[in-house]
């Protein structure tokens, strides 16, 4: 694992590619804007760190408040606890097989972990395993407010049954409710996202009110998705929000107006390794593993391919260029208007212009569709600041699904 915040004075031209670049100036601006948004709504911000998996990013995303964060894997919980974050919501439905590792994280690192469940059977199994270990955890009931992935409907009787099971368990303490409007990622237009944000809020509050009416204490009413966090017009009754991808943003968010291209902090640095006049492509050394094959923004905008292409020194997309094809370790850049004018001469001129703009050996930055998926395989960020070709720091990150061995 890469140590935190290693100073660097490396030029982009010296990096081994593909490499993950992070613009700290844009990152800081994104973090500050979301913190201000949460403050205006009067709710706590518990950022979801599954996007960055980085303690350095987490410190920027939580500066000025409690340091409470959200994670999605045992590996992330372990990593962040080892780096001083001691209030973590593990926002994936719990399975009993993970209780022992999570108990060790609490015991060794002094962290407080809050778990998530949406079935009585899952609560019963997790509670039994926790009792056997002498462990205690807080628990949130997952509420489905339209995403259709996990959770119980706000009006479902299962809500009260899950809460009752937790209360009787002796090893779990009911903390409240949590929902995630993941379906907002498929909503086109800010008005549609605002409607989903209100349904997310109302559903979580309804569930909390039902629990309170039945005599359960509800401390936490948690909502969270970047689109709804940006578009929500009211969050009364909510105690916290958990957006995540806002730290980096990406083409998927930009395609729907949640952010601008200038707000995308993450990119992949690649090297031009070939020109192929037969296929009319420029080859780069970043393929499906380096960029991911996520095309989520294509649901809302054409011409994005598997990512937009920029020169190495900035994140301004080059007109008409995108990564059109991906193989495991190869990306193929094409020019969408290479046939301009409808003639062979025009097409050949466009092809030559692309080859001239991207000579073999040059470096390019690729803006990704989905920052979370693109960042996940890498073990470090090469941190840049604004335009320029100099790396000023290297930041480590978590990866995988499992906690480090004890003492590691």
So what's the pLDDT on residue 7? 67
So what's the pLDDT on residue 337? 63
pLDDT tens for 151-180 read 999 999 999 999 999 999 999 999 999 999
Average pLDDT over residues 111-136: 98
DSSP string covering 6-59, please? EE---BGGGS-SSEEEEEHHHHHHHHHHHHHHHHHHT-EE--BTTTT--HHHHH
Check pLDDT > 60 for residue 395: yes
Pairing of strands 220-223, 172-179: parallel
So what's the pLDDT on residue 3? 44
User: pTM above the 0.85 mark?
Assistant: yes
| Torsion sign over Cα 270, 297, 372, 382 | positive
So what's the pLDDT on residue 177? 98
So what's the pLDDT on residue 5? 62
So what's the pLDDT on residue 286? 98
Average pLDDT over residues 322-350: 83
Check pLDDT > 90 for residue 340: no
* Residue 352: how many other CB atoms lie within 10 Å: 13
Average pLDDT over residues 340-366: 87
So what's the pLDDT on residue 394? 97
Q: How confident is the model at residue 345 (pLDDT cuts 50, 70, 90)?
A: confident
**Distance from C-alpha of 8 to C-alpha of 2, rounded to nearest angstrom:** 13
So what's the pLDDT on residue 61? 97
Lowest-confidence pick of 6-10, 181-185, 314-318: 6-10
- Mean pLDDT, the chain, rounded, equals 94
**Distance from C-alpha of 244 to C-alpha of 234, rounded to nearest angstrom:** 19
Average pLDDT over residues 61-83: 95
Q: What percent of the chain has pLDDT over 70?
A: 96
Question: Which token pair is 10?
Answer: 């490396």
| Torsion sign over Cα 228, 234, 235, 237 | negative
Question: With left for phi above 0 and alpha for psi between -120 and 50, is residue 342 left, alpha or beta?
Answer: left
Q: What strands, in cross-sheet order, belong to the sheet with 137-143? A: 44-45, 240-241, 220-223, 172-179, 137-143, 112-117, 87-93, 69-71
The full set of domains in the chain, from first to last, is 86-243 (3.20.20.10), 261-393 (2.40.37.20)
Check pLDDT > 90 for residue 202: yes
Tokens 């995308």 label which residue?
A: 264
So what's the pLDDT on residue 405? 64
**Distance from C-alpha of 176 to C-alpha of 219, rounded to nearest angstrom:** 6
Greatest C-alpha distance within the chain: 77
So what's the pLDDT on residue 387? 83
């Amino acid at each position: 694992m890469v140590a935190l915040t290693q100073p660097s004075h490396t030029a982009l031209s010296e990096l081994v590619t593909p490499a993950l670049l992070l613009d700290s100036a844009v990152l800081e601006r994104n973090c500050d804007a979301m913190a201000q948004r949460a403050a205006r709504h009067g709710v706590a911000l518990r950022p979801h760190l599954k996007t960055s998996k980085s303690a350095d990013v987490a410190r920027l995303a939580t500066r000025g408040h409690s340091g409470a964060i959200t994670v999605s894997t045992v590996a992330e919980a372990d990593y962040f606890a080892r780096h001083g974050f001691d209030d973590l919501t593990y926002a994936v439905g719990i399975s009993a097989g993970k209780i022992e590792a999570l108990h060790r994280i609490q015991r060794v690192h002094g962290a407080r972990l809050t778990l998530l469940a949406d079935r009585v059977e899952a609560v019963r199994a997790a509670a039994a395993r926790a009792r056997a270990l002498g462990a205690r955890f807080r628990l949130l009931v997952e509420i489905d407010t339209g995403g259709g992935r996990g959770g119980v409907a706000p009006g479902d009787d299962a809500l009260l049954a899950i809460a009752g099971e937790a209360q009787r368990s002796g090893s779990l303490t009911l903390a409240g409710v949590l929902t995630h409007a993941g379906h907002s990622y498929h909503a086109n237009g800010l008005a549609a996202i605002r409607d989903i944000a209100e349904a997310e809020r109302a559903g979580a509050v309804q569930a909390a009110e039902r629990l309170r009416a039945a005599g359960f204490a509800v401390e936490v009413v948690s909502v969270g998705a970047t689109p709804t966090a940006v578009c929500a017009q009211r969050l009364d009754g909510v105690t916290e929000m958990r957006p995540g991808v806002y730290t980096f943003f990406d083409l998927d968010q930009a395609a729907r107006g949640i952010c601008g291209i200038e707000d995308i902090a993450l990119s992949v640095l690649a090297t031009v390794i070939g020109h192929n006049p037969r296929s009319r492509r420029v080859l780069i050394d970043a393929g499906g593993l380096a960029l991911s094959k996520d095309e989520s923004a294509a649901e809302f905008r054409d011409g994005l391919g598997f990512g937009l292409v920029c020169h190495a020194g900035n994140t301004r997309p080059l007109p008409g260029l995108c990564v059109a094809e991906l193989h495991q370790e190869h990306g193929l850049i094409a020019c969408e208007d290479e046939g301009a004018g409808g003639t062979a001469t025009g097409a050949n001129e466009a092809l030559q212009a692309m080859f001239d703009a991207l000579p073999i050996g040059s470096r390019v930055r690729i803006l990704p569709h989905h920052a979370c998926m693109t960042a996940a395989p890498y073990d470090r960020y090469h941190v840049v600041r604004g335009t320029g070709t100099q790396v000023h720091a290297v930041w480590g990150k978590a990866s995988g699904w499992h906690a480090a061995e004890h003492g590691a």
